[in-house]
Amino acid sequence: MRAEQLTDPITFHGEGPVWSPAWGGLRLVDLFAGDVLTLGEGGAVSRRHIDAIAAALRPRAAGGAVIATERGFTLEDADGTRRALPSVWGDETVRMNDGGCAPDGSFYCGSMGYDQRTGAGSLYRLAADLSVTVALSGVTISNGLEWSPDGSLAYYNDTPTGQVGVFDWSPETGLTGLRPFVTIPEETGYPDGLTVDSDGGVWVALYAGGAVHRYTAAGVLDTVIEVDAHRVTACTFGGEALDRLYITTSREGVADGEDLLAGSIFTAVPGVTGRPVGTFAG
């Protein structure tokens, strides 16, 4: 299957697509621009600047959004008013990267070094009471976190490992028991953002691989969606029936005149449906 180009190249480093009826459609980040983009009807795109970095976002239960910024979190109300929470760390060489909401309404987001140095990142948990704890330390490029349909598992990428990992999860213990789920050969690409469909299939964006792969809950590759851009960053299900896969791409590191569709949004209709996005309870 081949994805269709939906937009022109509209991002430098498009990431973190999220579909929410509360937003009226799709939002994503242009990470290094610090912007949140909204895809409107007819393909119109609007852009709002948030901070030096806008890394990931999820809807809030009360309306608005929680947004991961360079070194912490910002809360956006339904009317667009924003409040930055205190920085989680002071090291200016480390930034937030990607995250997702757990079934208990907490927001997990992971970090990485700007220089991608080994072990510089951590995975943080923002609770509904706005307290922050470290869920996992010593990661390199924290990416792609999403839960299984029954909430008992969470899939996770530390991109340079070449593995999609899986945690056990419960409200009482949080994320525990990280272990390999699938290993992706280096020549195929690097696991970036991911999403999970209603059947428990895990869809993984392959950075430097020009594709999205679906793995069954047993870890078997059963679908490949080819994308006409090399640096595929993330994917999510959207549309009223959650039957359309939206795919983001990046121009980071792309020379002028090369990979001309990089930075575009792509779509595909793969024949399965996604699940409503998790919301932040805070």
CA distances to 137, 150, 258 from 193, in Å: 19, 20, 23
Rg over CA atoms, the chain:
17
Closest by CA to 65, choosing from 108, 43, 36, 102, is: 36
CA distances from 50 to 75, 80, 194 (A): 11, 11, 23
DSSP-based three-state secondary structure for 238: strand
Q: Which two tokens stand for residue 262?
A: 């990089």
Q: What element of type H or E holds 165?
A: strand 163-170
CB 176 within 8 A of CB 168: yes
Known catalytic residue: 98? no
Give the tokens for residue 35: 């912007």
Count Cβ neighbours within 10 Å for each residue of 145-165 and write b for 16 or more, e otherwise.
bbbbeeeebbbbbbbbbbbbb
Contact by Cβ (8 Å): 111, 70: no
Q: Which of 98, 158, 192, 197 is catalytic?
A: 192
Output the DSSP codes for 63-98: SSEEEE-SSSEEEE-TTS-EEEPPPS---TTEEEEE
Q: Please check whether residue 88 is in contact with residue 95, taking contact to mean a CB–CB distance below 8 angstroms.
A: no
**Residues tagged active-site:** 192
